[in-house]
Amino acid sequence: MHQSTAPDPFTPVSPSRRRFLAGLAGTAGLALLAACGTGDDTTAPAGSAGQSGSTGPATDQAQPRSGGRLRAVVGGASAASDSLDPHVIGTSAGGALSKNVWDKLVAYDNDLTLRYRLAQSLEPNADGTQWRITLRDGVVFSDGTPLTSQDVLYSFRRMLAEDKPSAGDLAVVDLDRTVADGDLAVVVAMREPLADFGSVLAGWYCYIVQDGSDVFDAQTLPPGTGPFVVTSWSPGDRALLTRNDRYWDSAPLLDEVEIIQVADTEARMNAFSSGEADLVHDISFLQAQTAAAQEDITLLVPPAGIMGAFQMRTDMAPFDDVRVRQALRLVVDRQAMVDTVYYGYAEIGNDLYGKGAPNYAAGLPQRTRDPEQARALLREAGLEDLTVTLTTANAEPGMIEMATLFAQQAEAAGITVQLETVPADTYFSQVAGKAAFTHTGWWNYSLEYYFGQTLTSDAPSNGTAWRRPEWDATFARARATLDPQERERLYFELQEELWHEGGILLHSFAKKPTAVRSFVRGVPEGVPGTDDWGNYRTAWLDR
């Protein structure tokens, strides 16, 4: 697997970068912005989970202790769009809540290899048309009911319901021919051969719920197999979780976890700074730089980054002309994005998702800035002095900054980028991938999962309207091929076409820091999308 080389995440801030971001901040102040084993090896050693202020990583050997409530503030949604259902909710707060209350059959490690959770094994037949899932013995739900194959079958049926966004996660499963084999095994039939079922099962929505659980609200609060039990939930506001003493992977140390939802990045950091929370996810990179200098704060920096990108709908003018898409990719200064927007907590991208993932096309040349070539492409298309609208929001760290900097960079090719700012809490549900030119921000998953969710003609989240039957057919062959070398070749072919003609302008891979108070220990440096991000089963309070 290709190993990425990231810059030092604590690179000093250059004067030019300070001037740029100070200009952006205006009256908003500094804090602009705000998918084998049991997991025992995921805990950061006590006192060593990250960068702590100006003193560097802590080195004391304090012993983990039980008790206390961890208060975590996370990016959330409005009350109207929030949900407790793990097969529906798509926000950061929903992801953190889901993985602490329920569990998956398998999940991702930080390097996107698989970590077995409720599944003990996944075994394909000779051609990948059938997979056998063997469940871990002795797992019970928080109400004491044993986990069985019937819970898995029920969860699959529920996730595949047409009204659920989770339906795309398991679309390859032929439910009519999928059966239980005793209490602890399920034989899953595929609609088409699949070489890596685990990469699908590790997807965002693929949680196993109890057979019959169908109402997820503040009155029902169904049981799960995760480290905590949800005991209260207020949509768009907060949830209180208590320790699950029946948890199969050893009981967590915390008594309680309070997950506080805040949609706006600045407001998230304000909640943390005011003492309302002990941990804050989804902070801006300027906020991270400031927090790193404080003695009482530990900064957790994941080892890999998530995509920082714009998406162009290939079915809407002017982005339906491939020359326009190519031109916009040529005007971005990727290193300037890393240095100015992310304060060095990132590495440059190459317009392809999944850097560091298995079968990522690292052999393609790095695209560099060439405004003159961009201008020539637009002249050829009859679109010189092009004006486009980029719809943005203060919904995720860095969005406003990257949009503003990109607009400045595009001027060198005679392109005017007009910024349209819309509300943050509905951006990803109502705007992204629907307007012609928007942000996209998927977390880290396998190429199989991401392509199936976003790039096939019928993908549920096809925000670039990329619809090419021949590309779909090659993808079907790639994900069905059990020969590793042939799979790698086919995935390279898929990515090469996307690199030349696709609708994603992926400029950076951002390492999303999490800030915690110095007394918060045992929180792993998880890459968003993996099992460790937002997972508090190993956390404890040293006070």
Distance (Å, whole) CA 192 – CA 476: 8
CATH code given to domain 103-208:
3.90.76.10
Helix, strand or coil, per DSSP, at residue 382: coil
> Does position 453 have pLDDT exceeding 80, yes or no?
yes
Does the 31-35+41-102+226-304+512-541 domain belong in CATH 3.40.50.2000? no
The model's pLDDT over 400-418, given as tens digits with 9 standing for 90+, comes to 999 999 999 999 999 999 9
- The two three-digit tokens of residue 272, written as one number: 């943390």
> Does position 23 have pLDDT exceeding 70, yes or no?
no
- Strands of 130-135's sheet, edge to edge? 119-124, 130-135, 185-189, 179-180
Please state the rounded mean pLDDT for residues 387-400.
Answer: 92
- Note the pLDDT of residue 251: 86
Please state the rounded mean pLDDT for residues 37-42.
Answer: 36
The model's pLDDT over 117-135, given as tens digits with 9 standing for 90+, comes to 999 999 999 999 999 999 9
Distance (Å, whole) CA 295 – CA 283: 18
User: Could you state, in order of their start, the residue ranges of all structural domains in the chain?
Assistant: 31-35+41-102+226-304+512-541, 103-208, 306-510
Mean pLDDT of the chain: 88
Taking the alpha carbons of 37, 357, 169, 507 in that order, is the dihedral positive or negative? Answer: positive
Q: Which residues contact 185 (CB under 8 A, 6 or more apart)?
A: 132, 133, 134, 135, 149
Please state the rounded mean pLDDT for residues 69-92.
Answer: 92
* 538 vs 18: which has the higher pLDDT: 538
What superfamily in CATH does domain 306-510 come from? Dipeptide-binding Protein; Domain 3 (3.10.105.10)
Indicate left, alpha or beta for 366 from its phi (over 0: left) and psi (-120 to 50: alpha). beta
H or E element that contains 299: strand 297-300
- Note the pLDDT of residue 125: 96
- Note the pLDDT of residue 441: 87
Distance (Å, whole) CA 450 – CA 447: 5
- Note the pLDDT of residue 17: 38
Given the structure tokens 């491939």, which residue do they identify? 322
Most confident of 5-14, 56-65, 253-262: 253-262
> Does position 53 have pLDDT exceeding 80, yes or no?
no
Please state the rounded mean pLDDT for residues 499-511.
Answer: 97
Q: Which residues contact 179 (CB under 8 A, 6 or more apart)?
A: 153, 186, 187
Q: Which residues contact 143 (CB under 8 A, 6 or more apart)?
A: 210, 223
Distance (Å, whole) CA 226 – CA 118: 10
> Does position 3 have pLDDT exceeding 60, yes or no?
no
* 437 vs 47: which has the higher pLDDT: 437
Distance (Å, whole) CA 306 – CA 314: 23
Q: How confident is the model at residue 60 (pLDDT cuts 50, 70, 90)?
A: low
Most confident of 60-69, 106-115, 311-320: 311-320
Tell me the pTM.
0.79
31-35+41-102+226-304+512-541 and 103-208 in the same fold: no
> Does position 457 have pLDDT exceeding 90, yes or no?
yes
Q: How confident is the model at residue 510 (pLDDT cuts 50, 70, 90)?
A: very high
Given the structure tokens 């779909």, which residue do they identify? 472
Q: What percent of the chain is predicted at pLDDT more than 70?
A: 89
Given the structure tokens 């405004």, which residue do they identify? 371
Contact 512, 528 (CB under 8 A): yes
- Note the pLDDT of residue 165: 85
Q: How confident is the model at residue 27 (pLDDT cuts 50, 70, 90)?
A: very low
The model's pLDDT over 244-295, given as tens digits with 9 standing for 90+, comes to 999 999 889 999 999 999 988 889 999 999 999 999 998 988 899 999 999 9
- Note the pLDDT of residue 25: 34
Please state the rounded mean pLDDT for residues 322-327.
Answer: 98
